[in-house]
Amino acid sequence: MWREPGLFILMLLMAFTGCKQEDNDLTGYKPNFVVEGWIEENGYPYVILTHNLPFFTRLDSAQLSEAVIRWAKITVSDGTTTEILTSRKDDRYFPPYLYRGNEIKGEKGKKYTLKVEYAGHVLTAETSIPNSVELDTLWFTNKENDKKQLNIRFSDRAEEKNYYRIYTRTEKDKIFYPTLLSVQDDKYFNGKSLILNINRGPKNNLTVKHEPYFNEGDTVYLKFTTIPKEGYDFWSSFNDEVINSSNPLVGTTGKINHNINGQGIGIWCGYAPKVYRIIAK
């Protein structure tokens, strides 16, 4: 399992592009659905569905709870089988509600369509699961204060167009979190062997102080995934938005490339993962 930290919060607040506005002034606010859905190879489909809130809304637990949509009809199809996902509570995620399938399992090369129906609105999206790529090796190097940095090496296939996304977790974590600079496009290293220094990402985008390295003795799991183009386009533009929104000197435009058709924004993405376990030493 994995979850993008801060996607929910950032999407909730993406309602305005101006710099200053009075509280409770909803001028320019446009309601939109926020979709975060994924299906992994050999895994079931998952979808988290919320709606955005005005940028200057005073956020509290009740307001955030109201943003979660729990009673939508969400359908996934692989072209042969069609399944209605079931809404359920899952405390590993924020918000702690999602829709999950238990019939369709992801297969490489297949296309998967998503249909969301709620309150008279219909949202659709399509994705596929690409071929997976295995790592050549992974290892740790020493940093200051007995910290350890994870490193990986892999060989890109010259005959394929590949996009990658990388996640890590320790045994203390319930889910995987994307690393810093987690998204890669092979246009810079097509057909070549590449070494990457892996810096663990924050668990959410509100974290002020963050440790990118691991501790001596940590059991670390690395998830190395290939993703389709729509996944790369979304996550790379999402990361740009996160960086811009944290810089007071750079305005945020909310221009995120997504594959949701209808009155919504977000991502429906297929993943081909390979998971590795290593001790930090």
- DSSP strand E in the chain: where? 33-40, 45-51, 73-77, 82-84, 86-89, 97-100, 111-118, 121-128, 135-142, 147-155, 163-170, 177-185, 193-198, 214-215, 219-227, 264-279
Q: Virtual CA dihedral for 211, 183, 8, 24, nearest 10 degrees?
A: 90
Query: Which comes out higher in pLDDT, residue 201 or 244?
Result: 201
Cα 74 from Cα 52, distance rounded (Å): 19
The domain segmentation of the chain, as residue ranges, is 7-131+228-271, 135-224
Q: What is the pLDDT of residue 15?
A: 41
pLDDT in tens, 165-210: 999 999 999 899 999 989 999 999 999 999 999 999 887 766 667 7
pLDDT in tens, 111-169: 999 999 999 999 999 999 999 999 999 999 999 988 999 999 999 999 999 999 999 99
Q: How many CB atoms lie within 10 A of CB 1?
A: 15
Res 16 pLDDT > 60: no
CB 270 within 8 A of CB 227: yes
Q: What is the pLDDT of residue 258?
A: 94
Q: What is the pLDDT of residue 166?
A: 97
pLDDT in tens, 48-57: 999 876 666 6
pTM of the model: 0.87
